[in-house]
Amino acid sequence: MDTAIKSLGPCENLSPLRHHSGVEVSFKTDEERVLFDHRMSPGEVPQPQLSFEVAGAREHIFFNPAKTTAGIVTCGGLCPGLNDIIRGIVTQLHLRYGVTKTYGFRYGYEGLVPKYGHTPMTLRPESVSQIHSFGGSILGTSRGHQDIGEMVDFLEEMSCDILFVVGGDGTLRGAFKLTEEIARRGLKKAVVGIPKTIDNDIMFLDKSFGFETAFGVAVQALKCAHSEALGSMNGIGLVKLMGRDSGFIASYASLAGSNVDFVLIPEVEFQLEGARGLLESLRYRLAKHKNAVIVVAEGAGQDLLEAHGETDASGNKRLGDIGLFLKDRINAFFKARKIECNLKYIDPSYMIRSVPANAADNFYCSQLAQHAVHAGMAGKTGLLAGRWHGAFVHLPIPLATQGRRKIDPQSELWHSVLESTGQPARLA
């Protein structure tokens, strides 16, 4: 596993942070590392470990702030905290480093392709000072691939030295292709990623920004579902939450809400039929307690649905709607047995994605933005800034995008979910 971070060249400029506002900066060096795995099993013999480069301000930087132009682009779906990231980057560049020219490229990678006609926004501290109070992204987003050559041409035209790319794994793969094309042309431009995924499924990260806000809002949806279930005979609250490949939001929200009876996630297969299947388990729950709440992640149970093989603009497989599928199957199951059932289906996904970030994510986004700027000004490229084992680190983009972070069915997290819900370990 290669954890080396690429650099544009020697850092020959003294950082302006050395004498900024009388604040003594704790500069980091490239030799400071964070271990990949800080745990050791009983009886295990210590081995040389992989490690990640520590993020933070460098005493010497590659770019001359007075001559530097930066750009920001946000891609993919909305996520709480996007405006916080934009605000943090602009503020750090302008007020701490003295970089006065920062552009916001509109509507994702489309903003780097002139034929779409998206005029770049000039971003200054005063123009972004309050944007963290609003959800979404002031730059807008889009999905889909664009021509790498055209995008690099446009960065050249705009004299953009550092591009900050905010997005998920597909967006970050695009960012790395930009890095490769820039290197092929012999240009001195840095590409720095900030990982965005509301599902919390980026590899080698403690968490992604917006996740705490997302599962916090999801908890409110679960409380509503519980109230609906309590309000009628054999009431069922069925809530579909985000999670294409990973069930982190469903699991965390269910644990925080403490009133959920079944949690269905992509990592754990389940069956509908049979004595130990979901439907019979649900019937038993209603017979005993007269109500139930089910949480299902959007990527769960896809083996039960008819596959169409379609993909979205980003190349992701289009998922079947497991929420509506379960709604129909549950209603049909109880109707066939002449058992009264009052099911309320709730899908709060778009509401969750578009809310402003909470205080914890405000704080986290500010830190991510600061570390991304430090990396960019030091001439580091093809990397993303993230947090691992509580410390901020630099991760090579190919390493972070080689797979998806998932819940281990044998982990303490999933065992906690099973204990909280009381559901069988296997619905099969």
| Topology of the domain comprising 6-40+48-208+355-400 | Rossmann fold (3.40.50)
- What local confidence, expressed as pLDDT, does residue 62 receive? 98
Two structure tokens written together for 239? 């809530």
- How far is Cα 220 from Cα 280, in angstroms, rounded to an integer? 28
pLDDT at 318: 80
b/e map 150-188, b = 16+ CB within 10 Å? ebbbbbeebebbbbbbbbbbbbbbbbbbbbebbbeeeee
User: Domain segments of the chain: what residues?
Assistant: 6-40+48-208+355-400, 214-353+409-421
End-to-end CA distance of the chain: 37
- Contact criterion met (CB below 8 Å) for 102 and 90: yes
Q: Does domain 214-353+409-421 have CATH number 1.10.287.180?
A: no
- Residue 206 a catalytic site member: no
Q: What is the largest CA-CA distance in the chain?
A: 78
According to the model, what pLDDT value does residue 308 have? Answer: 64
* Cβ proximity of 386 and 395 under 8 Å: yes
Q: Which residues pair with 122 in a beta bridge?
A: 103
Alpha-carbon distance of 132 to 109, in angstroms, equals 22
3-state secondary structure of 389: coil
Residue in 199, 201, 245, 361 annotated catalytic: 199
CA dist 404 and 383 (Å) reads 17
Q: Give the per-residue pLDDT at 45.
A: 46
Angle between helices 82-91 and 359-377 (to 10 degrees): 40
Residue 384 CA, chain-centre distance (Å), reads: 12
The domains spanning 6-40+48-208+355-400 and 214-353+409-421 adopt the same CATH topology? yes
- Kindly state the DSSP code that residue 263 receives in the 8-state scheme: E
What is the pLDDT at residue 31?
A: 94
Task: Spell out where 98-140 has E strands.
Answer: 101-105, 121-122
Per-residue pLDDT for the chain (428 aa), expressed as one digit of tens each? 789 999 999 999 999 998 765 667 889 999 999 988 766 455 554 455 789 999 999 999 999 999 999 999 999 999 999 999 999 999 999 999 999 999 999 999 999 999 999 999 999 999 999 999 999 999 999 998 999 999 999 999 999 999 999 999 999 999 999 999 999 999 999 999 999 999 999 999 999 999 999 999 999 999 999 999 999 999 999 999 999 999 999 999 999 988 999 999 999 999 999 999 999 999 999 999 999 999 999 999 999 998 766 666 656 678 999 999 999 999 999 999 999 999 999 999 989 999 999 999 999 999 999 999 999 999 999 999 999 999 999 999 999 999 899 999 999 999 999 999 999 988 88
Q: What is the pLDDT at residue 306? A: 80
Tell me which H or E stretch contains 195: strand 190-195
List helix spans (H) across 26-168.
82-91, 125-128, 148-157
Phi-psi domain of 258 (left: phi exceeds 0; alpha: psi -120 through 50; beta: other): left
The count of other CB atoms within 10 Å of the CB of residue 47 is: 8
Tokens representing 415 are: 């065992």
Neighbours of 230 (CB within 10 A): 14
